[in-house]
Structure 1
Amino acid sequence: MAAVVVVHGIGQQYRAAELLHEPVARALRGGVQHAGHQAPGIDRIAMAFYGDLFRREGRRGGPEYLEHDGSDLSRFEEELALRWWRAAARIDPENVQNPDTAGARAPIPLTVKAALRALSRSRFATTMTEPALYGSLRQLRHYLDGDMREPVLARVSGLITEDTRVVVGHSLGSVVAYEALCALPGHGVRALITLGSPLGVRHLVFERLCPAPREGRGAWPGAGVRWTNIYDRRDVVALRERLSGLFGADGDAVADAPVTDDAPEVLDRAVDNGWRAHDLLHYLTDRATGAAIHEGLTR
């Protein structure tokens, strides 16, 4: 069974576990080697794949990727798109105009469309086309507020066994990885590593987590877990870059544990992913990620 489980992010509905496994496993091994350690064998790394769950039979990629007029977009998509837009304008002002000076407020579909068009111009979002960004917003909402949470969590939880020591989650996959560990009391995972995570986005993601945060702090994902959060400052998905101060609970009963002053804290690490700030492989090959993975495997 796998010692390391990697959970992918949004927009993988046209892929398959085997298609993602080799490049992801090789990038992960490279990061561990860059950190100066012996890398785990490829057969010890599993790809937790759930992208196909967003692909509806007989339809091109499900409703998340169909051409549409935006009539079914919600305030969730509008607010998150505007936050991404503001972040992109701050990071890349030469190419992205700030929405507060661009007259962005309009009916929801037009606001979202303007936001995503602006985002797609950023040099640091080179893989984020406008349709893909639409899909990102919708998949995140369908997971948090729709009917996708249960099947996605079941798929991921099924790969976390007594042999698993490290779980790595990217983008939406960081939300899935966190919630999966919270739902598995007594698991033996020693390290959670989140990459480009939206977990800290207040009022849109953080408050929608399961289990729900209490007293302003989210539950800790398991006794003995060391959590490293890795972010690129130009990654617009990680709107709140640092997760320290948001999570921490003491005790074995993760969901019901009281918040205490000596609760564990998230260790935040900044990296430089170049122009592909949100890219999973760029995150994995960084030595900070590799060091966190190695530490989890050897604790």
Structure 2
Amino acid sequence: MARVVAVHGVGKQMLGEDSLLKEWCPALQDGLRRAGRPPLCEHELAMAFYGDLFRPAGKMLAVGDPLYTAADVAAGFEQELLLSWWQAAADVDPGVSPPGLDTLARTPRSVQAALRALSNSRFFSGIALRAMIFDLKQVRHYLTDNQLRRMARERVAALIGADTQVVVGHSLGTIIAYEALCALPNHGVRALVTMGSPLGIPMIFDRLLPKPGRWPGADTLAWTNIVDSGDVVALVKDLRPQFGQQLRSALVHNGSHAHDATIYLTSFLTGSAIAEGLDAG
């Protein structure tokens, strides 16, 4: 089994284990070097891939994500999360007008306004509208589709063995990694590193299984949550109020790519958190 298990984030349904490792492995090695630790061997890092669970079934002459529009943003969870993204983007980007009282109501008009505002933000620049909506739906599907949730968690659990020392999750992958560790009795993982995590968002935290706020391992597990102050997906930056003061919260600066997994991985703080788990006796 690998010493480090990685769990990717949202929107990777068109990729796979090997293609994601080509992105993650060099960045993770750079982070370890920044922390003064020798790099891992290639076989010591594994990617728990679950993106294909969200990939639409193929058919002739139809590829890629569904052609979503604003009308496809479902009432309830999807609209609430979208409006939360809008407010968070406005808080960190002067170019994004904040939602007003007339647009905070969960209506088709507010959805269109939110998508328009986010498409002009630095954080979501270059992301197609249909991809943004697809990401919303991935988060909701994971939290509401019990079969998909179980299958995604099993992908992570299948890679965690006696030799696994560190689990690193990004974005939606932090939710899956957290729940997978909570569901594994007596696992020996020494460090959990979460990057750009939405775990603290109330509408997500309240839906966690088996129980919101549970510590995902033994008392000796070191959990480090790493976030960029401009990361809109990680709306709640400090997870300690929900998960306990033993959790360590770290702020990094990722520049214009606030939510990018590879930029998180090259950070000294990320490398140090991973190295600590690898060196723990």
TM tier, smaller: over 0.9
Identity over aligned residues, as a percent? 50
In structure 2, the residue matched to 1:266 is 247
Q: Deviations over 1:83-132 (max 9, x none)?
A: 11011011002x2100126x324663432232122112112333533222
In structure 2, the residue matched to 1:16 is 16
5 Å-filtered alignment, 1:21-100, equals 21-58=21-58, 65-68=66-69, 70-71=71-72, 73-93=74-94, 95-100=95-100
| Alignment check: 8 A CA contact 1:125 1:276 kept | no
5 Å-filtered alignment, 1:163-242, equals 163-202=163-202, 204-213=203-212, 218-223=213-218, 224-242=220-238
Q: 1:84 corresponds to which letter in structure 2? A: W
**Equivalent residue pairs, number:** 276
Gaps of 5+ in 2: none
| Alignment check: 8 A CA contact 1:116 1:130 kept | yes
Q: Provide the alpha-carbon RMSD of the alignment.
A: 1.8
Q: Deviations over 1:250-276 (max 9, x none)?
A: xxxxxxxxxxxxxx6210000000101
Q: 2:84 corresponds to which letter in structure 1? A: R
Counterpart check, 1:287 vs 2:240 = no
- SS at 2:206 equivalent: helix
In structure 1, the residue matched to 2:110 is 111
Compared with structure 1, are the counterparts of its residues 56 and 124 closer, same or farther at alpha carbon in structure 2 (3 Å cutoff)? closer
In structure 1, the residue matched to 2:258 is 277
- Give the distance between the partners of 1:176 and 1:272, measured in 2 at CA: 25
Compute the displacement of 1:69 (Å). Answer: 5.7
Compute the displacement of 1:72 (Å). Answer: 6.1
In structure 2, the residue matched to 1:145 is 144
| Alignment check: 8 A CA contact 2:3 2:164 kept | yes
Could you tell me the TM-score, scaled by structure 2's length? Answer: 0.93
- Give the distance between the partners of 2:115 and 2:128, measured in 1 at CA: 8
Q: 1:82 corresponds to which letter in structure 2? A: L
Greater helix share, 1 or 2? 2
Q: 2:33 corresponds to which letter in structure 1? A: Q
- Give the distance between the partners of 2:17 and 2:207, measured in 1 at CA: 27
Q: Deviations over 1:32-84 (max 9, x none)?
A: 1011211212220111111011013226578x743356256121111111111
